[in-house]
Amino acid sequence: MAQRIDLMAEDLETMNPPAVSPASPPVTIPIAFVQGMLAGVRARGAAVDVFLEDSGIDPELLAEAGARVTASQYVALFQSLTDRLDDDLLGFLSRPLRRGSFALIVRSAAAEDTLEAAMRRAARTFGLLQADVAMELVKEGELAGLVLRFDDATAASLAPLHELLLRSFWRFFAWLVGGKLPARRFDFAFACPAYAGSYSKIFPAALRFDEPRSGFWIDAAQLQQPLVRDKAAVKAFLADARSNVIVPPREEDLVSTRVRQLLQRSQPAWPELATVAEELHMAASTLQRRLAANGTSFQALKDELRRDLAIVRLHTSAVPLAALALELGFADSAAFQRAFKNWTGSAPGAYRQRSRLGEA
């Protein structure tokens, strides 16, 4: 029987250090998704150290379940894999999907008039480029789904490939129709992984595991939406395609996002719940309820923001630990170091050393 999880929490993002524009706050990525990105290379028996070196990720972090990397490291890893392997699908398939293949799929789909036509064209083009996995648009009652059918056993066994295909194409089709394509559910043809708690931002809908096939499902009426992107927009999308399809999107309308933004603007003051609620023109109890509906809490947001900011600052700056502790609202360096070790499994000094070694 399929396991069902309906995760509403956001995969948490972070504030900027003072030198970074508030319009583009840094994001950190769980190490499980780094492991997943490397799964295709490992399944084919190749070493991964050169890709980690390219992206400034120390190999020792792979062994720490709580570790995270910056979004820039994650995108750099994707780029290293595609460039060195000449493969838009990172070594997951029996033969490389040559660089430029995804761009070809994007351009062919964007030439259609409706979402349904674009999804069918993308599926056909993808099928022409490789033979390991097919995409198919199916309709079941009021729902329509883009589902995966695998013809290569090795590829089918790699859960990260299922994840990559679903997130990339769902994000692309959402972009084609203006940026919003609410999913009703995501199905996965594998068991619920230990890191499923990190799915919520990447797959923000009901999750079903142990299903016969992987796919994402939308309301069938959405298929008639017109495409709104012209050639110039497609060119701009492809110029930053890696970030557009693999970095978690921001849901600006969520109250948790507004809380993060307010905390960011207030740094290093780190206001309490009542102050934030007043700034958002609501009662503290109302804010607590709305955050709970987003699957989080004020204290969780605050701690996770501080964790992610610490990771970014340790990787990108030489700020002393004592100064970073004050930035993050801790009484002293010792309190910060205890919290950081609890968040990530390692001390901040060791994390900084690893980051420096990875960049060397």
CA distances from 110 to 13, 58, 208, 222, 276 (A): 30, 39, 30, 16, 42
| Alpha carbons 229 and 233: distance in angstroms, whole number | 6
pLDDT of residue 2: 46
Enclosing H/E stretch for 149 = strand 143-150
Q: Which overall architecture, per CATH, does domain 255-359 show?
A: Orthogonal Bundle (1.10)
pLDDT of residue 296: 85
Report the pLDDT value the prediction gives residue 6, as an integer from 0 to 100.
Answer: 38
What does the alpha-carbon distance between residue 109 and residue 12 come to, in Å, rounded to a whole number? 31
pLDDT, position 24: 45
Per-residue b or e along 61-92, where b marks 16 or more CB atoms closer than 10 Å to that residue's CB: bbeeeebbbbbbbbbbbbebbbeebebbbbbb
| Residue ranges covered by each domain of the chain | 255-359
The closest of 109, 110, 115, 113 to 224, measured between CA atoms, is: 115
Contacts of 134 (CB under 8 A, 6+ apart): 123, 126, 127, 148, 149, 151
pLDDT along the chain (360 residues), means of 10: 38 32 63 94 90 91 89 92 95 93 96 97 97 97 97 94 96 93 97 91 93 97 95 91 76 76 84 91 90 85 90 88 91 92 86 60
What pLDDT does residue 250 have? 64
